[in-house]
Structure 1
Amino acid sequence: MHSTIFALCLSTILSFLPPTAAWGSLGHRTVAYLASTYFTPESTRFTNRLLNGQDISEAALFPDKVRHMPQFAYSRGWHYIDAQDSPPQQCGINMTRDCVINTGCVVSAIANHTGRVADPSLPHYLRGQSLRFMLHFFGDVHQPLHTEAEDRGGNEYEVAFDGRRTNLHSVWDTLIPHKYAGTGHDDEFVAAWLWAQRLSGDDDVDDDETRLEGECLHDAADCALSWAREANSYVCSHVLAHDVHGQDLGGEYYQGAIPVVNEMVRKAGRRLAAWINFISANYTTTTDDAGDLDVNHAIQIQ
């Protein structure tokens, strides 16, 4: 019961906090909604249970909303991995060099929270919290500038976008996704859902059982590292391929970025779904033995 009260109080507090960026809230909502289109029935029940019925796209924003709260300060370094490379001449991630040992990084955070979501010995609210981190970090690791140290991931790289002065990180986090998928929609939930439907519809395979074949599932840390390296490669091939300092990126640069953003958001959603399907397939619900409310049934691994 105490864990349920804690979760409800935290949800109330978070409802008054403004959303912050990292793929922007539109991008993170889309990754979560897209993943849900690939869910098995077990995954749908599993996520609804751990999230206490919260909208999955809203749950995906949790880590950004709490990162500046003192009690979650430890999580700030989990949103990125700072590749100490030399774009555009050379891009690449070295785990021992780029993932800070004391604070961790997005790769280690994905490994940690994926394991916690799958851990039946953890209390319901902790697994739910880790699921929220998992939903978010699968998005972060696919954002190229969340895998790059140059100019603090582009935060100190001054540019313009459609006449508005900003920085390169914000262009990739928020401005490109909103211009592409958010224009004409007053409701961000609707914009994210429609974007997710378009990306899901791009699949060539109609059979649900084969749609996620080939996704990396052998080890969460190895998989996350490979995804980070894939995203980081775009720093050299497009994000910082040319010196765009001070330029307006709302034209040709934006057009070239759209396929990258679509591909990375699509892969983030597919890979998130593959992992949640994998985890939920190994679980069955049992009678309530955790002292929580009815929706908080304990889960045991088979």
Structure 2
Amino acid sequence: MMHRLIRLFAPLALLAAQPALAWGDYAHRLTGSIAWSQLSPAARAEVQRLLRSERQLETPDCKLASIEDASVWPDCVRGQYRDRFAFSAPWHYQNISVCAAFDINAKCPNGDCVTAQIPRQQAILADRSRPAHERLQAFSFLVHFIGDMHQPLHLGDKADLGGNNVRAAYGFKAPDRMNLHRIWDSELAERALTEPPAIAPQRITRTQRRAFTAGPANTAARVAEWARAAWEISRTTAYPELQDYPDSCSFSAEALRALPRGMVTPDYVAKATPAVRDQVTRAGTRIALLVNEALATRPAAR
């Protein structure tokens, strides 16, 4: 078993001295690249026009010059311009309990959650009466939040902040700072998405695109379906497959702190990797769907 763990996690030692790639960086940027490859020519032209209004956002420490930048800009401004963008903090997730039936309306007061914000930001992006920089901000939020929603622990929850309060170990990386949510955000995403065969935007087939975008025409209804699927992965894989960690829904906040540290094993990684890769591919395709719809019509000639 130890030899298997060494073979599985040894590549991570080479990454230790490098900047961390995460769902907020590596996976998000990949969703952006996938989306860009599927945008219509008219949508691409409008996005490029909106990107030229970047300076009006007055966030010089957070670059916004491409769809890949847009995919991570909301996380950047939360850190670099915390006071200005504190309002957006709850928009990145929705803690829907996996201990009860799926409820799209749970834990979303006043629409301050990821599933409510996706239709809102799409509507702002589509509104050509708004200033370009406002629509650019909405574009970035839309791209980022679709990515966030496809990370299962941005939706599934056991009263532990989507796994943030679940202590977990991943190979030999700083166990005192590791938790289940972080592992899905970063270490697991890095491994799943860099493992051959690489996910290439141009290799996503029309059949896959149709399957990933099938469903209701209404954005809110689509989002509910996409959210349920991500939530289901957290319910069936992210939580119960964690070795040495009790799969229970009855722990209080105090009890959570006393629970043993769960272990992300090679078997866990093998089961989670296809889900990570599939979710990123779906997210990129669905970003393109909603952006294409928002930018489908040109303003009438005057």
TM-score by length of 2: 0.75
Paired residue type of 2:147: G
Aligned to 2:183: 171
Indicate conservation of the 8 Å contact 2:212/2:282, yes or no.
no
2:70 matches 1:62:
no
Indicate conservation of the 8 Å contact 1:31/1:196, yes or no.
no
CA distance in 2, matches of 1:20, 1:77: 23
Q: CA deviation at 1:91?
A: 5.2
Paired residue type of 1:278: E
2:90 matches 1:80:
no
C-alpha change, 1:216 and 1:269, in structure 2 (3 Å) is farther
Q: Name the SS for the 1:157 alignment partner.
A: coil
Indicate conservation of the 8 Å contact 1:83/1:93, yes or no.
yes
CA distance in 2, matches of 1:22, 1:77: 19
CA distance in 1, matches of 2:182, 2:225: 24
Aligned to 1:203: 205
TM-score by length of 1: 0.75
Q: Which portions of structure 1, spanning 4 or more consecutive aligned residues, are displaced by more than 4 angstroms?
A: 19-22, 210-214, 284-287
Q: CA deviation at 1:84?
A: 3.0
Indicate conservation of the 8 Å contact 1:217/1:275, yes or no.
no
Deviations 1:218-241 (A, max 9, x none): 222222122111100111211112
C-alpha change, 1:92 and 1:73, in structure 2 (3 Å) is same
Indicate conservation of the 8 Å contact 1:215/1:271, yes or no.
no
Matches within 5 A, 1:50-199: 50-52=50-52, 54-68=65-79, 69-86=82-99, 90=100, 92-95=102-105, 97-101=106-110, 104-150=112-158, 151-164=160-173, 165=175, 166-182=178-194, 195-197=198-200
Aligned to 2:24: 24
Q: CA deviation at 1:266?
A: 1.0
Q: Name the SS for the 2:169 alignment partner.
A: strand
2:261 matches 1:262:
no
Paired residue type of 1:54: A
Q: CA deviation at 1:205?
A: 4.2
Paired residue type of 2:169: A
CA distance in 2, matches of 1:279, 1:137: 15
Q: Name the SS for the 2:32 alignment partner.
A: helix
2:42 matches 1:42:
yes
Indicate conservation of the 8 Å contact 2:70/2:143, yes or no.
yes
Aligned to 1:277: 292
Q: CA deviation at 1:67?
A: 2.1
C-alpha change, 1:94 and 1:181, in structure 2 (3 Å) is closer
Q: CA deviation at 1:20?
A: 9.0
Identity %: 28
Q: 1:249 aligns with which of 264, 267, 275?
A: 264
Q: Name the SS for the 2:27 alignment partner.
A: helix
More helix per residue: 2
Number of residue-to-residue matches in the alignment: 251
Indicate conservation of the 8 Å contact 1:34/1:270, yes or no.
yes
C-alpha change, 1:248 and 1:200, in structure 2 (3 Å) is farther
Q: CA deviation at 1:215?
A: 3.3
Deviations 1:136-183 (A, max 9, x none): 001011111000232111111111112222110011111112123347
Deviations 1:208-261 (A, max 9, x none): xx8578534622222212211110011121111245332431511011111101
Q: Name the SS for the 1:160 alignment partner.
A: strand
C-alpha change, 1:216 and 1:115, in structure 2 (3 Å) is farther
CA distance in 2, matches of 1:221, 1:211: 18
CA distance in 2, matches of 1:20, 1:51: 26
C-alpha change, 1:285 and 1:127, in structure 2 (3 Å) is farther
Q: CA deviation at 1:23?
A: 2.0
CA RMSD of aligned residues (A): 2.7
